[in-house]
Amino acid sequence: MKKFDIGKHRIIIKKVHKSGYMSSGGRPKAKFNVDYAKKLYDGGYSYAEIAKLLGVSKSTAYKYINDLDA
């Protein structure tokens, strides 16, 4: 992201990905199979076990399983 000051105005240029979406920077969203995670949870797995299996944090697993970050 580049910033330019022109007089009283600040212009910010953001990168555009190949997909056409602008990047605001920051960390990308975690990607994993939510349906699979929900099946594991219904099968008796804990959030910590699911997170470890899918390679995400426990809080991320909790958010997606409970549709808090959808």
Residue 54 lies in a domain: yes
Over residues 6-17, the mean pLDDT reads 69
Let me know: does 37 contact 50? Beta carbons within 8 Å.
yes
Q: What is the domain extent for residue 35?
A: 30-70
| Nearest by Cα to 49 from 40, 63, 64 | 40
46: domain CATH number is 1.10.10
Residue 44 lies in a domain: yes
Query: pLDDT band for position 8 (50/70/90)?
Result: confident
Residue 3 lies in a domain: no
Residue 11 lies in a domain: no
CA 15 to chain centre: 18
Domain count, the chain: 1
Residue 55 lies in a domain: yes
Segment 15-42, tens digit of pLDDT:
665 555 555 666 667 677 889 999 999 9
- Please check the confidence at residue 52 and state whether its pLDDT lies above 90: yes
- Please check the confidence at residue 13 and state whether its pLDDT lies above 80: no
Torsion of CA 24, 15, 55, 45, to 10 degrees: 50
